Amino acid sequence: MIEHERIAIIGAGHVGSTAAYALMLRALFREIVLVDSDTALAQAEAADLSDANALARPARIWAGDYADAGLARIAVITAGAATRGSEDRLSVASRSAAIVTSCVDQLLGAGFAGIILVAANPVDLMTLVALRRSGFPPARVIGSGTLLDSSRFKQALAGRLDVASSAIDAMVLGEHGDSEVAAFSVARIGAVALDQFPAAGAALDHAQIAHDVRTAAYRIIQGKGYTSFGVATAIVRICEVIQRGERAVLPVSTLLTGEYGIRDLCLSLPCVLGAGGVEHVLSPPLSEQEVIALQASAATLRNALDAL
């Protein structure tokens, strides 16, 4: 039986605890259970969150085990190997794969039948690991993907064009990592193509914007040692869309089945998300150069997968 008002956070580190805090403030679930191999950490984070919850909307927040997680509607896997300094996400793939595999096995052992949201890096490979290990339909195993990168992309464009980021429809596609593709050709501001928007055109250095978006996490990690607020907010937005059955379109990592000639890999394309997970995978009309870059991104992921 699925408890539709329960969400499980697997991994109570920086990302997991921040996501739990944001979920509490958003009041999306009445029950938030934290599960971590470090029981003391999970208990401390749950206690701290419960203190904060006294000043927010009522919710039950506790440190539990996989039996508790087994009843959740969504299980968010944040547990994985952390990158350090300039270490790229793919470099920790083997260590993360072992952790994610263990998490999935224990969820299945507890009878979990909900939606798995993977936010452990490298997220595209870990989404595929979770998908294969669980045997779930692809719709129910989702990676946080490039939703955060897309937010950074919108912010970068908004700052240069002097418009609100909410007015911009723009996405980063492919790997959540160094081979990601900023899709300038399909970016829109108020339904106007980017190159037709006043103050755009020559004023926008596409290569510099893409570089800034791609390397944003490294700059944050250099300063504070990890990222948390951005990815946690992306996690919460995905959970919100699922919980409310919004059928919103978000760039998340999902199994591709031939889009742009790519199959049997998880990477980010715009997806219609509903109560049951991924309902449709969309293929925007990218430029020829962007398609080539997306295929190169897929090749990067496949090489990393083969090395696992």
Active site residues: 176
| Residue 248 CA: distances (Å) to CA of 127, 204, 237, 241 | 20, 29, 10, 6
Amino acid identity for residue 287 in this structure: S
Residues 243-258 as b or e (16 or more Cβ within 10 Å = b)? beeeeeebbbbbbbee
**Cα distance between residue 203 and residue 258, in whole Å:** 36
**Cα distance between residue 255 and residue 17, in whole Å:** 28
What sign has the CA pseudo-torsion 1, 8, 242, 136?
A: negative
Amino acid identity for residue 113 in this structure: A
Nearest to 121, CA basis, from 147, 99, 102: 99
